[in-house]
Structure 1
Amino acid sequence: MPGRLSTRLRTSLAAGLAALLLLGVGAWWLRDHMYDAQLEAAEADAHAQAREISNGYKHGQQLADHGQLPYLVLNSAGQVVTMGGPLTTQHLAGGPPVLVPQPAPDDWQSVQRITIGPAGPVAANRYSGRTFTAMGSWSPLLWPSSEENGQPVKPKVGPVTVYVLATPFAAEASLRTIDPVLRLGVPLAALLVALMAWTATSRALRPVEAIRAQLAEIGEHRLDRRVPVPRSGDEITRMARTTNATLDRLERSAAQQQRFVADASHELRSPIAALRTNLEVSLAHPERTDWPAATQEALTSVERLQQLTEDLLFLARGSHPATAGRLSSVDLSAVLRELADQCRPALGARVALRVDAPEPVLVHGSRIRLHRLARNLLDNARRHAAAEVVLSARRTGQHCVLEVRDDGPGVPPEDRERIFEPFTRLDEARSRDAGGSGLGLAIAADIATRHGGTLRVAPARSGARFVLELPAG
């Protein structure tokens, strides 16, 4: 149908879309994994910085810059004592952070979500209006010892809660670095996969195109041509070999058909020519024609034409199921006895006909066709027999065997396969009327094959011995 995509294009699109999907999922996972890893590192740094600040208060150290991350210091009332780093101009916009519990263990820690608000109506930076994860620690001392007016002041004691913000800025910076690479790299990689699929499919289909082109050139009169066989040894190689084997069978079938048509034309020509000559001579000299004899000769030619036509029609329609006749259980012994009763008057005293089939031998098939098979074998034996023809039937295991033997000259070993081909006669010098058309044994072999059996010429001490083997019914 026009408009359908080619195999190469479909394969390339499928490969490209699959690569785009897989690479997109992989890029999303990598991006998410990198972001989570950076956040985990920021949280670890915040934990470390919170412990460092709380330990500094615990040992009476002065406040100073305690790291790169912003932090909050809360007193026991929850008020912000100080903000470190970029938070010096900000305030808390959300609820108050969790204070240190009473009593608290020495390793007390807390994880909070803290929202930072702007310091003024116009103040805005990357901290304002955002919520951060805060890592909390604590110290029991609020202010270290100091002097006032030259007099020493005792330290003010109270719990101090320290929160350090784990900012996502490093993770966001890493995403800003990798996002352009992924946005450009994933489509380019998918496009590269699609191009590679196009190239690989084109190379794989190149032998198929060569086979197609060769098949297109093979016509009715060029059946000797064969398709090229790739040396890859894959499915295309097997397809090419199968194609060549099919072409071999087609060439043999065409040759057999041509030979069959030529032989049939040659066989039909003889009785037609005899009939035409007889009629022309009779019409040219009607006063000297023996009309009963001429009519008998014409009738003989017509009978031969009718027999040839029936045999050719049988071979042409033998494979059609409608011509098989009714299938039933057939007794080969009864078929041979019936056939012998019909043929004995025609044999006369020259040839003795003996039937050796004392017991029923049952097969499954068409009685009409099996009767014709046996009749063809009997006609062949009758033409070559010197004094006797023997018909026999018996059962051996899972098979039934029918034999037709004669005491004639026999069949040479080199011709035992050829005589079952249509229009084959070993004695080419004999007359066609006496020797038959050469279709009887071909029809018999065809009937045997369609009944699941075999027909062959078996070795014999003298004469010919035809053996039919059929599955027992």
Structure 2
Amino acid sequence: MLSRLSTRLRTSLAAGLAALLLLGGGAWWLRGHLYDAQLAAAESEARTQAREISTGYKFGQQLADKGQLPYLVLGSDGQVVIMSGPLTTQHLAGPLPPAVPNLAPDDWQSVQRITVGPAGGAAANRYSGRTFTAMGSWSPLLRKDGYQVKPQVGPFTVYVLATPFAAEASLRTIDPVLQAGVPAAALLVALMSWLATSRALRPVEAIRAELAEIGEHRLDRRVPVPPSGDEITRMARTTNATLDRLERSAAQQQRFVADASHELRSPIAALRTNLEVSLAHPERTDWPAATQEALTSVERLQQLTEDLLFLARGTRPETAGRPATVDLSTVLRELADQYRPAFGPRLALRVDAPDEVLVRGSRIRLHRLVRNLLDNARRHAATEVAMSVRQTARGCVLEVRDDGPGVPPEDRERIFEPFTRLDEARSRDAGGSGLGLAIAADVATRHGGTLRVAHAPRGARFVLELPSA
């Protein structure tokens, strides 16, 4: 249920609930602390008042109301001598409190709990509270209700009642404030959280709206970057960087499709022209030659289709298969045995490979990489193609060299792009589709290596670096 609410509403509810719990706990603590402080003050006042009354009795002062708190005095026989303040004899509920022990010293004190109020009435325990006692040793003259009474000699017990009335009055004063203030403060926190979250999410809404406007054909647009420099700013920059990559990828895809269409159109057009001319003039057609031309066009279409399919499959990790240990020396020797008959007497093929150079990867793809480099070298070489592989401290290095015209420095990065041909290699009759080096660079990258064109005194020198197994 809560997951369906908006982010700002969930945040506001969470902040309001947290504030309500925190403020409610604080209010409860403040209420208890205030009540305990008031009770402590009343108990301290009761103790002081009990000592003053006891001292007065001890030195023969006349009985009189003394102090603000209600009190009563018991004689040595345990009977009430005087009861002051709002207390009267009918207010006592239950048995009388005990008198002071006969053997108690003059400074004897104790804490008792007595209950006052009409016995058995509804107001019983009305004045219930903590009481403090003090003891006076004798009194020569006592007065009660304005009349002189028989002097009493002996200990007197003084009880002063520490009532909770002041504490309860303070709670009655503060309770309405807390009951109204705590919910109001929690509501204010929730409202401030709503406003702060709305303001914080405003750039996010702007980013979302801009992303909704960006379609397949409007990848040049970018989301606004707020100047705050916080997480939302970093998210906007990351989003724009992702859009940059998408735009470049879309442009590369469009260029790739256009180049592929152009490459496919040429052999298809040649094949169609050849067939149309042959059908229009069958009596003058050299059918074996026409068939050979058609077969050449079909082979070119087949090669181009295989290259396109290889690049398309290369983008899916599941097509690579499980990596295995591959011996590059064996790969070079196998390809040399396959290509020597095709080189003929015009070209020489030299192979320099140790007994074993191991790497981790796909044997099929690494085989395709070296074959593409060998095909490229064979098309441009004048008299010789050389292949070598060696182990190094960081991995292995494979080189394919030829003695052809070479690659200009300004074109050494561009030739690894799909359908790229240099001016000297524009002719499509040589069999190149413009995808061989792109496929080789893609395979090298997917194996954690690099493929580059290095400097050579003569011809082209392709260097492949791969990590060791």
Greater shift in the superposed pair: 172-181 or 362-371:
362-371
- 1:141 deviates by 1.4
- Deviation digits for residues 227-248 of structure 1, max 9, x if unmatched? 1111111111111111011000
Q: Which residue of structure 2 lines up, in the alignment, with residue 149 of structure 1?
A: none
Contact map agreement 1:57 1:144 (CA 8 A) in 2: no
Q: Distance in 2 between matches of 1:89 and 1:68?
A: 19
Q: Distance in 2 between matches of 1:7 and 1:437?
A: 54
Q: Distance in 2 between matches of 1:376 and 1:410?
A: 16
Q: Which residue of structure 2 lines up, in the alignment, with residue 138 of structure 1?
A: 135
- 1:254 deviates by 0.5
Q: Which residue of structure 2 lines up, in the alignment, with residue 337 of structure 1?
A: 333
- 1:372 deviates by 1.3
- 1:327 deviates by 3.8
CA RMSD of aligned residues (A): 2.0
- Deviation digits for residues 293-340 of structure 1, max 9, x if unmatched? 111111100000000000000000013344325643222112112211
Q: Distance in 1 between matches of 2:448 and 2:136?
A: 102
Q: Which residue of structure 2 lines up, in the alignment, with residue 426 of structure 1?
A: 422
Counterparts in 2 of 1:280 and 1:241: CA distance versus 1, 3 Å: same
Please tell me the residue identity of whatever aligns with 1:459: H
Secondary structure of the structure 1 residue equivalent to 2:4: coil
Q: Which residue of structure 2 lines up, in the alignment, with residue 194 of structure 1?
A: 190
Contact map agreement 2:141 2:149 (CA 8 A) in 1: no
Please tell me the residue identity of whatever aligns with 2:333: R
Q: Distance in 2 between matches of 1:450 and 1:427?
A: 29
- Deviation digits for residues 117-142 of structure 1, max 9, x if unmatched? 327x98x77x7644221111110114
Q: Distance in 2 between matches of 1:30 and 1:266?
A: 84
Q: Is 1:384 matched with 2:371? A: no
Greater shift in the superposed pair: 20-29 or 317-326:
317-326
Q: Distance in 2 between matches of 1:437 and 1:140?
A: 126
Q: Distance in 2 between matches of 1:174 and 1:96?
A: 31
Q: Is 1:183 matched with 2:153? A: no
- 1:446 deviates by 1.1
Q: Which residue of structure 2 lines up, in the alignment, with residue 79 of structure 1?
A: 79
Please tell me the residue identity of whatever aligns with 1:87: L
- 1:190 deviates by 0.6
Aligned length in residues: 465
Please tell me the residue identity of whatever aligns with 1:133: R
Q: Which residue of structure 2 lines up, in the alignment, with residue 32 of structure 1?
A: 32
Contact map agreement 1:47 1:135 (CA 8 A) in 2: yes
Secondary structure of the structure 1 residue equivalent to 2:49: helix
- 1:110 deviates by 1.4
Q: Which residue of structure 1 lines up, in the alignment, with residue 286 of structure 2?
A: 290
- Deviation digits for residues 266-316 of structure 1, max 9, x if unmatched? 000000000000010011111111111111111100000000000000000
**Which segments of 5 or more consecutive residues in structure 1 lack a partner in the other structure?**
147-151
Contact map agreement 1:363 1:471 (CA 8 A) in 2: yes
Greater shift in the superposed pair: 156-165 or 91-100:
91-100
Greater shift in the superposed pair: 428-437 or 303-312:
428-437
- 1:384 deviates by 1.1
Contact map agreement 1:376 1:444 (CA 8 A) in 2: yes
Q: How does 1:446-457 map to 2 (within 5 A)?
A: 446-457=442-453
Q: Distance in 1 between matches of 2:304 and 2:113?
A: 106
Greater shift in the superposed pair: 99-108 or 312-321:
99-108
Q: Which residue of structure 1 lines up, in the alignment, with residue 210 of structure 2?
A: 214
Q: Distance in 2 between matches of 1:160 and 1:400?
A: 110
Q: Which residue of structure 2 lines up, in the alignment, with residue 103 of structure 1?
A: 103
Q: Distance in 1 between matches of 2:359 and 2:466?
A: 7
- 1:391 deviates by 0.5
Counterparts in 2 of 1:349 and 1:239: CA distance versus 1, 3 Å: same
Q: Which residue of structure 2 lines up, in the alignment, with residue 458 of structure 1?
A: 454
Secondary structure of the structure 2 residue equivalent to 1:68: coil
Q: Distance in 1 between matches of 2:14 and 2:149?
A: 80
Counterparts in 2 of 1:312 and 1:128: CA distance versus 1, 3 Å: closer
Greater shift in the superposed pair: 210-219 or 347-356:
347-356
Greater shift in the superposed pair: 313-322 or 414-423:
313-322
Identity %: 82
- 1:359 deviates by 2.8
- 1:447 deviates by 1.1
Give TM-score scaled by structure 2 length: 0.95
Counterparts in 2 of 1:12 and 1:457: CA distance versus 1, 3 Å: same
Please tell me the residue identity of whatever aligns with 1:232: S
Give TM-score scaled by structure 1 length: 0.94
Q: How does 1:41-60 map to 2 (within 5 A)?
A: 41-60=41-60
Q: Is 1:227 matched with 2:220? A: no
Greater shift in the superposed pair: 72-81 or 101-110:
101-110
Q: How does 1:127-166 map to 2 (within 5 A)?
A: 129-144=126-141, 155-166=151-162
- 1:106 deviates by 2.4
Contact map agreement 1:90 1:128 (CA 8 A) in 2: no
Q: Which residue of structure 2 lines up, in the alignment, with residue 257 of structure 1?
A: 253
Please tell me the residue identity of whatever aligns with 1:34: L
- 1:154 deviates by 8.3
Q: How does 1:387-406 map to 2 (within 5 A)?
A: 387-406=383-402
- Deviation digits for residues 216-235 of structure 1, max 9, x if unmatched? 00000000110111111111
Contact map agreement 1:359 1:394 (CA 8 A) in 2: no
Q: Distance in 2 between matches of 1:354 and 1:383?
A: 16
Q: How does 1:269-418 map to 2 (within 5 A)?
A: 269-325=265-321, 327-418=323-414
Q: Distance in 1 between matches of 2:70 and 2:16?
A: 47
Q: Distance in 2 between matches of 1:320 and 1:145?
A: 112
Please tell me the residue identity of whatever aligns with 1:52: E
- 1:156 deviates by 2.5
**Which segments of 5 or more consecutive residues in structure 2 lack a partner in the other structure?**
none
Counterparts in 2 of 1:358 and 1:13: CA distance versus 1, 3 Å: closer
Please tell me the residue identity of whatever aligns with 1:84: S
Q: Distance in 2 between matches of 1:176 and 1:325?
A: 80
- 1:153 deviates by 9.6
Q: Distance in 2 between matches of 1:420 and 1:327?
A: 24
Contact map agreement 1:75 1:142 (CA 8 A) in 2: no
Please tell me the residue identity of whatever aligns with 2:137: P
- 1:249 deviates by 0.5
Counterparts in 2 of 1:284 and 1:40: CA distance versus 1, 3 Å: same
Q: Distance in 1 between matches of 2:364 and 2:90?
A: 112
- 1:382 deviates by 1.0
Counterparts in 2 of 1:321 and 1:243: CA distance versus 1, 3 Å: closer
Q: Distance in 1 between matches of 2:246 and 2:431?
A: 32
- 1:428 deviates by 6.6
Please tell me the residue identity of whatever aligns with 2:374: L
Counterparts in 2 of 1:154 and 1:363: CA distance versus 1, 3 Å: closer
Please tell me the residue identity of whatever aligns with 2:299: E
Q: Which residue of structure 2 lines up, in the alignment, with residue 116 of structure 1?
A: 116
- 1:3 deviates by 8.3
Please tell me the residue identity of whatever aligns with 1:139: G
